[in-house]
Amino acid sequence: MYDPRVLTVRHDPRDGGQRAPRFDQVFHIDLDIDATEDQVQFSKPPMELAVETRAGERFRLIGAHLKSKAPHGAETRDAAIRISIANRRKQLAQAIWLGRRIKAHLAADEEVILMGDLNDGPGLDEFENLFGRSSVEILLQSGVFDPHADTAFGSEPGERPSTARFYRPQDRGYLEALLDYIMISDGLKDRRPDWRIWHPFRDPACRDAQDLHEALLTASDHFPVTLDIEL
């Protein structure tokens, strides 16, 4: 939802050719260094919008949902390992594809906001070190910034921000994870950006307002992330 009195929004998918085709097409990349290009697709193609504010400010808005790394359907340990590695490899390819689109916008002097469930964060699984860098790091290196991601890398697990909470029946506990982001290009950093994770336990206002607290827990195992910015 958006307020048309505040923003003018136009669906505007871009095609960057073979290096970064439209997100509803196929991306060719060698994922496993076997000299053969793999074909990668999004099951949920990122949304690309051209946005103009009432004040005349223009920027590109990309909403993305990257491939989950979870080994759904695995019935054995070996199958879980195989599926997890394949899923992470595909997610990294999607991040590279997305990062190339961001770089193209920045090269054209277009500001960018990337938001969504990137299904990745530091320390989430044992295969993170296998590929050298995470999908989030690839996107940050494309020229965008998120303070929660910036804080998470290099911090201890208990100190990391969290946007999701999953029940673990095996130990009757919860896994906290940073999966959802709003990343902005450097040119927007001076627009007084203010990020907030509406975490029902870690945000004092969400914790203390009973109706809001319960609504957040009922709605989803992911929690809203918002950005207030002067544009």
DSSP state letter for 72: T
Q: Which two tokens stand for residue 66?
A: 């990257």
Spatial distance between the Cα atoms of 130 and 134, rounded to a whole number of angstroms: 10
User: Taking every pair of C-alpha atoms in the chain, what is the biggest distance, in angstroms?
Assistant: 56
Task: Tell me the per-residue pLDDT of 102-123, one tens digit each, with 9 for 90 and over.
Answer: 999 999 999 999 999 998 876 5
Q: Which residue has the tokens 């929660």?
A: 148
pTM of the model: 0.89
| 7-196: CATH architecture | 4-Layer Sandwich (3.60)
List helix spans (H) across the chain: 77-107, 135-140, 147-152, 204-208, 210-219
Give the helix/strand (H/E) hosting 8: strand 7-11
Average of pLDDT values for 164-188?
Answer: 92
Task: Tell me the per-residue pLDDT of 180-217, one tens digit each, with 9 for 90 and over.
Answer: 999 999 999 999 999 999 999 999 999 999 999 999 99
The predicted pLDDT at position 209 comes to 97
Average of pLDDT values for 45-64?
Answer: 96
Spatial distance between the Cα atoms of 164 and 220, rounded to a whole number of angstroms: 9
DSSP state letter for 22: -
